[in-house]
Amino acid sequence: MRVLVDAGFSPRALQARLAAARMAPESIDALLLTHEHTDHASGAADAVARWGWPVVATAGTFAALPALREASRMVLTATSALALGALDVAAVPIAHDAREPVALVLADRHSGARAAIALDLGRAPDDFAQALGPLDLLVIEANHDAQRLADGPYPAMLKRRISGGSGHLSNAQTAHLLGACARVGLGAVILAHLSETNNTPELALGAVRPALRAAGWRTRALHVATQGAVLHPVASAQRDARQLALDL
Ligand SMILES: [Zn+2]
Ligand SMILES: [Zn+2]
């Protein structure tokens, strides 16, 4: 079972990025959406029309994406996991200014491997790491450096939206959350959704490394995904024979 999480690119750009990762769109079994914002879903309808993927999302996300009305749809709820072949897909509600945004936890019933994708988190409550559970791989937002955002060129209203409780996580917030995740059980980490204006990979890594170290995280599989390039395939540190996720 192979799934794609979010589709913010045109089919052409998506196909090129998949090709860079040596994957054919036809090999994807389903498209999972975390929420309806354009950087996550603007390419979904075209991709689904082209490749016929069934779509998995919350009712709120579907309601906000009328272009997916004709798609084969599977509705995710926070109360029960959805079975996609051997993959159990669970949704964890998150605070973000979308209709019904979620983080996704993917569990492979055969191997027991677990991966989570947590993007666009307005805040990181203490029980969030518990809600995700032990993970072999976590793709997590590290959106901005708080100082850089404050000093940067964005209008005041946008700065408030980004740093607010339903916006995006700062590096410091991501670091705090990763510390909690490491205490629950954490393999490889991919930092994602970095702002090109308000963050750099160095700033993000510099913030999260000490927090992971302090939490006793020994895996040392820490990667950063940038917007312009396709990240190399990342295998879970504990289950390195299995490729668990690919960040686009
Ligand atoms: Zn968003
Ligand atoms: Zn986003």
- Domain edges within the chain: 1-78, 111-248
- Centre a 10 Å sphere on the Cβ of residue 43 and count the other Cβ atoms it contains: 21
Cβ burial of 148 (10 Å; 0-12, 13-18, 19+) is middle
More confident call, 225 vs 245: 225
Distance in Å, CA 110 to ligand 2 centroid: 31
Which two structure tokens, joined as six digits, stand for 208? 């999260």
* Ligand closest in space to the Cα of 119: 2
Kindly report, residue by residue over 8-60, the tens digit of the pLDDT: 999 999 999 999 999 999 999 999 999 999 999 999 999 999 999 999 999 99
* Ligand closest in space to the Cα of 99: 1
In CATH terms, the fold of domain 1-78 is Metallo-beta-lactamase; Chain A (3.60.15)
* Ligand closest in space to the Cα of 98: 1
Distance in Å, CA 6 to ligand 2 centroid: 10
Which two structure tokens, joined as six digits, stand for 92? 């964890």
- Model pTM score: 0.93
What was the pLDDT predicted at 218? 85
The pairing of strands 135-141 and 186-192 is: parallel
The pairing of strands 222-224 and 186-192 is: parallel
Kindly report, residue by residue over 130-185, the tens digit of the pLDDT: 999 999 999 999 999 999 999 999 999 999 999 999 999 999 999 999 999 999 99
